[in-house]
């Protein structure tokens, strides 16, 4: 007989979905520690050391000292003098990601990957007939640990927004469940900084408006939010009430291939921006090669600390031929914008106007836009 949890019965009675968000713990750094026993238990940063280096990922031992992704390496070294820098090994990260994805697909075909180490799963109708989303999340975490020797945190709820909040609640190696009827109360207690899309500058702006928690945000009407937050207002209004109607999308037509990074700290220096762009180029071009896609437009996207977006794009006559051309165009687009008028909190690079290789064996899927690191 399938194991069932009370929360799953409630979800079915209310016609709600059963959503799991799985997020690997310090993924890149954890892979490095797994593969090199000498790094285990020590503060590790994936990225380049030296004056131009930027931290791409940090182990939990490093995070205790305040080391974060997108931080200049010299700053990270100052915070943590014993920090060990290792160069990225994307092949190792992609292989671990492939193993993790296979585990997801044993339970449901409804998998929406957000990056190499993060995905939403809709297990309302799970393939193994387990019935309990909580039990499925527990099994997935156990299977990941057994297969990859890596730990994952998971959030279980009835929509994507809440599941993602839940997966971050008990990190690392944790599980959190937000049951039907608990979403609004859970969100009300959270600092607004925990809301996806609200960075340090956004939180500061909200603080000036008297908004510190989800409850404070929910107390503001939509007119107030639109006045102060523009296009982000509708999202904030729904999020403050624990509402998210987005489905888990396992497949959709690919119109572009790209990746973006949201930084834990805003950055503005030219060397840090170029290092970050080069990391994005490495991962995005790998995805382009795997899919066999060809495109003619390269677009650079950046979001300033005040949430305003800026984009620059270049379209060439023939499909971009190789990684060096892709990188050259991306770097030129960045150089057009330097120096920046203010720091940025997000950077992304995409290839569009795609002409897919008819011999490509890989179907379009939701890896089209990767959220990097």
Enzyme catalytic residues: 118
Kindly report the number of other CB atoms within 10 A of residue 253's CB atom: 7
Angstrom distance (rounded) from CA 291 to CA 358: 10
**CB of 22 closer than 8 Å to CB of 119:** yes
* CA proximity to 59, closest of 271, 36, 50: 36
Count CB neighbours of 112 within 10 A: 23
CA distances from 361 to 37, 55, 91, 296, 354 (A): 37, 34, 20, 21, 16
> What is the full DSSP assignment across 340-372?
PSS-EEEEEEEEEEE---TT--PPP-TTSEEE-
Q: Which two tokens stand for residue 125?
A: 């109708």
Which of 154, 151, 152 shows the shortest CA–CA distance to 162? 154
Cα separation values, 57 from 169, 273, 282, 316, 366, Å: 20, 16, 15, 34, 23
């Amino acid at each position: 007989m399938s194991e069932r949890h009370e929360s799953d019965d409630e979800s079915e009675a209310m016609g709600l979905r059963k959503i799991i968000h799985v997020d690997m713990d310090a993924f890149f750094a954890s892979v490095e520690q797994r593969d090199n026993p000498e790094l285990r238990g020590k503060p590790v940063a994936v990225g380049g050391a030296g004056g131009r280096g930027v931290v791409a990922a940090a182990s939990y031992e490093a995070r205790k000292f305040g080391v974060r992704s997108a931080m200049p390496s010299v700053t990270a070294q100052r915070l943590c003098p014993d920090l060990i820098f290792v160069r990225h090994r994307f092949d190792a990260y992609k292989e671990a990601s492939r193993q993790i994805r296979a585990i997801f697909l044993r339970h449901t075909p409804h998998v929406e990957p957000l990056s190499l180490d993060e995905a939403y799963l809709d297990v309302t109708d799970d393939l193994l007939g387990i019935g309990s989303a909580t039990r499925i999340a527990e099994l997935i975490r156990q299977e990941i640990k057994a297969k990859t020797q890596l730990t994952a945190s998971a959030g279980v709820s009835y929509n994507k927004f809440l599941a993602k909040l839940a997966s971050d609640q008990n990190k690392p190696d944790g599980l959190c469940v937000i049951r039907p009827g608990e979403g609004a109360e859970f969100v009300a207690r959270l600092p607004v900084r925990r809301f996806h899309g609200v960075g340090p500058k956004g939180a500061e702006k909200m603080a000036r408006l008297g908004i510190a928690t989800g409850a404070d945000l929910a107390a503001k009407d939509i007119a107030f939010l639109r006045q102060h937050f523009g296009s982000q207002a509708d999202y904030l209004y729904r999020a403050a009430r624990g509402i998210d109607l987005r489905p888990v999308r396992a497949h959709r037509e690919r119109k572009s291939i790209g990746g973006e990074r949201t930084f834990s700290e805003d950055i503005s220096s030219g060397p840090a921006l170029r290092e970050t762009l080069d990391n994005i180029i490495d991962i995005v071009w790998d995805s382009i090669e795997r899919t066999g896609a060809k495109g003619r437009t390269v677009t650079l996207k950046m979001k300033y600390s005040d949430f305003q977006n800026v984009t620059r794009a270049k379209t060439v006559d023939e499909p971009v031929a190789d990684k060096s051309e892709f990188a050259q165009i991306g770097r030129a687009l960045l150089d057009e914008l330097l120096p920046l008028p203010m720091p940025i909190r997000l950077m992304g690079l995409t290839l569009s106007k795609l002409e897919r290789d008819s011999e490509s064996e890989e179907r379009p899927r939701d890896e089209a836009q990767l959220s990097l690191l």
